[in-house]
Amino acid sequence: MDKYKKAIRENVCEICVDSNEKGFCTMNGEEVCAVQLYLPKIVEIVHSLDSENIEEYYQLMKDEICANCNSLDGNGACYLRDDVNCSIDRYYMIIVDTIKKVDAGLI
Ligand code: SF4
Ligand code: SF4
């Protein structure tokens, strides 16, 4: 998992709106980053699919991650997603691409 964590830090955190100019996360101790929290599951999902259609990965993340996330309410809505405040939802394209590149030995 370390190679994925490192690649996420270098490719996602670097451009994340919650990072500083040096790419370090600025979230406080009470906040939780969904990418960090769910990374093993995200990697599992990426490995379970072989598709060029990024939306298939997104849908699987919603089905398997959001469905079990505390931020989801009983109606299937998420206030963090609605506020563009979930790192998975904001960056799923880059996240999937980064994991695939790690697997291909490109990064
Ligand atoms: S919120 Fe998550 S993705 Fe963004 S900088 Fe912090 S750890 Fe990285
Ligand atoms: S979009 Fe909401 S429910 Fe889905 S992982 Fe992010 S915070 Fe959790």
Mean pLDDT per 10-residue segment, the chain (107 residues)? 97 96 91 96 98 97 96 94 97 98 97
Distance from the alpha carbon of residue 78 to the mean position of ligand 2, in angstroms: 6
Nearest CA to ligand 2 atom 6: 86
67-90 tens-digit pLDDT: 999 999 999 999 999 999 999 999
| Residue whose C-alpha is closest to residue 57's, from 89, 28, 83, 85 | 89
The finding on whether 36 has its CB within 6 A of some atom of ligand 2 is: no
Distance from C-alpha of 107 to C-alpha of 89, rounded to nearest angstrom: 23
The finding on whether 8 has its CB within 6 A of some atom of ligand 2 is: no
Distance from the alpha carbon of residue 51 to the mean position of ligand 2, in angstroms: 22
The finding on whether 71 has its CB within 6 A of some atom of ligand 2 is: yes
Instruction: Let me know: does 17 contact 94? Beta carbons within 8 Å.
Output: no
Q: Is the entire prediction scored with pTM above 0.85?
A: yes
